[in-house]
Amino acid sequence: MKKSLEELQKIRGIGKVLAKRLVDAGHDTYEKLHALGEEGLRAVRGINPRVVESILSQAAELAESKGKERARRVEELRAAATTLRGQVEEIARGVKDRFADEVQGQGGRKLEKQVAKIMASFDRVEGKLEKRTKRAAKGLARAEARLAGLTEESVKAVEKGIRRARKALKRIIA
């Protein structure tokens, strides 16, 4: 609620008291404020009728810029997810090249299973990026940290690192 109050106070003509009244009435975002319209805004107690049009135009501008910022952030997260997906594929390929004999056994099957699971997790994460941008950013950063340095590790260490990275991705989906 405090964040909503601070957000609304960025608009000229809205102070602490008016912001509190707007939030209490359920108009806590720029989009809702713009959708309220001129008549709805005039109905709010304590509003100066001379600044109604200014408030609405500012709310529209801020809502648009906020939407653009969110779309840009989602695209950055998509690019990060694609990069991590490529990194996992590269790690798996490197392990198969270095440990061709070990990969034929049970360790290789476990690794393939973990790679398949993390790829499926990447697919599900990409579907959640728009709704959970903050959580996705944290989860992708954590997964990236888990995958860092796995290119020179053993089969078992790579399998364990991929499992940990997948766990970080699961937090986004949950």
Per-residue pLDDT of 150-170, as tens digits, reads 888 888 888 899 999 999 999
Q: pLDDT tens-digit profile of 111-122? A: 888 889 999 999
Place of tokens 């728009």: 130
pLDDT at 1: 67
Residues of the chain with confidence (pLDDT) below 70: 1, 107
